[in-house]
Amino acid sequence: MGGMSSDNVHGLVLAVSSSVFIGSSFIIKKKGLMNAGATGIRAGSGGYSYLKEPWWWAGMMSMIIGEVANFAAYAYAPAILVTPLGALSMIIRYAVLAHYCLDERLHIFGVVGCALCVVGSTTIVLHAPQETQVKSVKEIWFFATEPGFLVYACIVLVVVGVLIYRYVPLYGGTHLVVYVGICSLMGSLTVRAVMCVKAVGIAMKLSFSGSNQFVYFQTWFFTVLLFGFILTQLNYLNKALDTFNTAVISPVYYVMFTSLTILASMIMFKNWDSQNASQIISELSGFVTIFSGTFLLHKTKDMGTPAIPSQSPKLSNPSTRSRNQSPVRPDL
């Protein structure tokens, strides 16, 4: 493996495995959602009949395995190596499984939009500041209670509340950014380099090493938040998968999730102090590229769906017209 360390090799293998499992989970869960929607109330309409579908539970198991592998990958390798590989799960979803398993076609503008999203996200990750090394739950608590991150967390919770109670009933079924936005905003507080998973992961690691971290209330606080945020994400991710084309959801979710996670990490750990002008310009260029790809995907999301021709009931069946009646000539 050239100059790669053994830890980086382990992280690379875990990250690739995570992408395969997570990418497959979207398609398997969508299969279960489709089956549930055929026999009960769809998830997009507020139903939970998918909980009785074996396919949906198989997808959940695949996602759990993928997230565990992804979590372990961050323990071995730096985020600058692991995070860009998340794009592999997106390619697995739309380029392979959604095409062959769900018969969902991605048009040429969708391909270009996905490519822009992957390039932009990778550019941001490669030029993002190095993560601050945190070695205890109390350190996480210190960073999480800093004024800057508290303001960000409050803004996220307010925006999520507005989206859920105001925009989901009005635009949830027509604008995919509503459901995906809720998942991504909650995810920025939950996983990867930010608060909850990092805190719980460090607590488990230290506890297994002999230093019990579950005697501190901060550990239980982060654990409760973790499960609450994950359940919220799963609920609205199911609604998104049940309502929109998987090939479009995948890149938009990946882009918003990665961007917001990096933003939250920078606010929490104040890593921007170590960046130079070149890195900042590269990150801004990555954001512009991402927004361009997301805009293209959103505006062309229905191009691959064949339109159902609307027919006038009076003209839809020629046999209903009297045999002796001649066609009416329109007035010019």
| Predicted confidence (pLDDT) per residue in 79-136, tens digit | 656 766 666 666 666 555 666 666 666 677 777 877 887 787 777 767 766 656 667 7
pLDDT at 73: 76
Element (H, E) at 254: helix 246-269
Q: What is the largest distance, in Å, between two alpha-carbon atoms of the chain?
A: 94
* Same domain, yes or no: 75 and 12: yes
Q: How confident is the model at residue 163 (pLDDT cuts 50, 70, 90)?
A: very high
CA distances from 283 to 162, 266, 272, 276 (A): 29, 12, 11, 11
Q: Is residue 115 part of a domain?
A: no
Q: Which of 89, 105, 121 represents a domain boundary (last residue)?
A: 105
Whether residue 233 lies inside any domain: the answer is yes
Mean pLDDT of 26-55: 79
Give the residue carrying structure tokens 């230290």. Answer: 206
Whether 166 shows a pLDDT value over 90: the answer reads: yes
DSSP state, 47?
-
Q: Looking at the structure, do residues 47 and 179 belong to the same domain, yes or no?
A: no
In a domain, 241, yes or no: yes
Domain count, the chain: 2
CA 249/CA 175 separation, integer angstroms: 11
192's torsion region: left (phi>0), alpha (psi -120 to 50) or beta? left
**312 is a domain residue:** no
DSSP category for residue 174: T
In contact, 301 and 248? CB cutoff 8 Å: yes
Q: Are residues 165 and 291 in the same domain?
A: yes
Question: Is residue 124 included in any domain, yes or no?
Answer: no
**Same domain flag for 81 and 141:** no
**Start-to-end CA span in the chain (Å):** 77
Q: Average pLDDT of 249-272?
A: 76
Percent of the chain surpassing pLDDT 90? 8
Maximum mean pLDDT: which of 14-28, 93-107, 140-154: 140-154
Q: What is the mean pLDDT of the chain?
A: 75
- Give the residue numbers spanning the domain of 236: 131-302
Which parts of 270-318 fold into alpha helices (H)? 277-299
pLDDT at 168 over 60: yes
- With tokens 């391909």, the residue in question is 111
